[in-house]
Amino acid sequence: MTTYDLEIERLRAEVSCATLLERLPPPWLLDRAESTKNCLKYRRGASEVLIVNHAGRGWWDPQSDARGDVFDLVQHFDPGLNFGQVRKLLRPFAGLSPTFPEAPRRREHDPRELPPAERWALRPRLRPASPGWRYLTQERRLPEYILEAAAAADALREGAYGSPWFAHRDETGRVTHVEIRAPNFRGSLAGGVKTLFRFPGGDPPFSRLVVAEAPIDALSIAAIEQPRPHTLYAATGGGMGPATIEAIERILARMAGVRDVVFCSAADANPAGERYAARHEKLAAKAGVAFARLRPPIEHGDWNDILQQQAKQRNTP
């Protein structure tokens, strides 16, 4: 083993991820009440959370897929650093023990006051036979295989009172907003920013973007198409704010210049839907991407109406 390798192993063994969190500005503080012996929960600000495990040798982010060792932690905060620069940064921390400075005790409060990403992380995955599952399969007629795929992609979770929750995510995969649908309720969690609900029809890169208004409509057209490969099914949650437009523009920018790419507007078949479709067409033209209108073939209807109609026709003798 070279001297280079020996130093890497020494730094991994002697630099605690907890120490790094506590000492790199701005510092993270230990949430002792929500920590265990093997998982230390650190907080920074109102919504940033990291978990330190493996006796300080590992860490993971409960709000994304980020995880790793102390080297990965440094590059998580500063992706621009190369491996040599990370080693140099870590050397002064070797052998230092964490002091476990405590975050101010969080008052007991209604979980509804938490940021959407934290509330999302607390909810279970949607599962067969749950109230939310039954609502989507029985009333909305979404096929089970679509719900299984959406749950596997962590696009769906089981909300309170059996209401399905649908996540909007940004380019990094971070939950920015959560929509809620139930038999007698339609709304969203407070404090979020709409970007896009995203359901992949296959593995990237995507050559086809299908944008509907509601997540249930995006899943419905995916079910009708069974779903098509290399297609990203998305939903704006109705109106398009700056963050939603930016999210669409980023996707289109990646698609531009690739052969046979298309932006399909699956907005509702009503005047508001036509206005959304016109805005979609302008975004496609600006990016140099072909455009197609996937208009639901029921006047004043949406794609879930079409899915329900097809289910009724199959069950009619």
User: Does 243 share its domain with 270?
Assistant: yes
Q: In which domain, by residue range, is 309 found? A: 117-315
pTM: 0.66
pLDDT digits (tens, 9 = 90+) for 216-260: 999 999 999 999 999 999 999 988 889 999 999 999 999 987 889
Q: Which amino acid is at 51?
A: I
Please indicate, yes or no, whether residues 149 and 281 belong to a single structural domain of this protein: yes
Number of folded domains that form the chain: 2
User: Once rounded to an integer, what is the mean pLDDT over residues 274-299?
Assistant: 95
CATH (domain of 273): 3.40.50.140
Q: According to the model, what pLDDT value does residue 179 have?
A: 95
> Residues 146, 104: one domain?
no
Which phi and psi (to 5°) does residue 209 adopt? -115, 120
Residues 103 and 121 placed together within one structural domain of the fold = no
CA 211 to chain centroid, in Å, comes to 16
Boundary (domain end) residue, out of 57, 89, 108: 108
pLDDT tens by residue, 163-173: 999 999 998 89
Residue type, 209: L
pLDDT, one tens digit per residue, over 92-119 is: 999 999 999 887 655 555 566 788 999 9
Q: Do 238 and 130 share a domain, yes or no?
A: yes
The answer to whether residues 62 and 150 belong to one domain is: no
Residue-level length of the chain: 317
Q: What is the mean pLDDT of residues 284-297?
A: 96
Same domain for 216 and 278, yes or no, is yes
Q: What is the pLDDT of residues 184-226, one digit of tens each?
A: 888 899 889 999 999 998 888 899 999 999 999 999 999 999 9
Among 85, 108, 131, the domain-final residue is 108
pLDDT at 27: 86
The pairing of beta strand 196-200 with beta strand 231-235: antiparallel
Whether residues 243 and 305 fall in one domain: yes
pLDDT in tens, 41-76: 999 877 788 999 999 999 998 877 789 999 999 998
Residue 183 has pLDDT above 90, yes or no: no
Question: Are 181 and 149 in the same domain?
Answer: yes
Q: With contact defined as beta carbons under 8 Å apart, do 304 and 217 qualify?
A: yes
Q: How far is 195 from 175, CA to CA, in rounded Å? A: 9
Kind of pairing between the strands at 175-182 and 164-169: antiparallel
**CATH code (residue 37):** 3.90.580.10
Verify that 93 and 121 share a domain, yes or no. Answer: no
Give CA–CA dist 72/6, Å, rounded: 18
The answer to whether residues 130 and 227 belong to one domain is yes
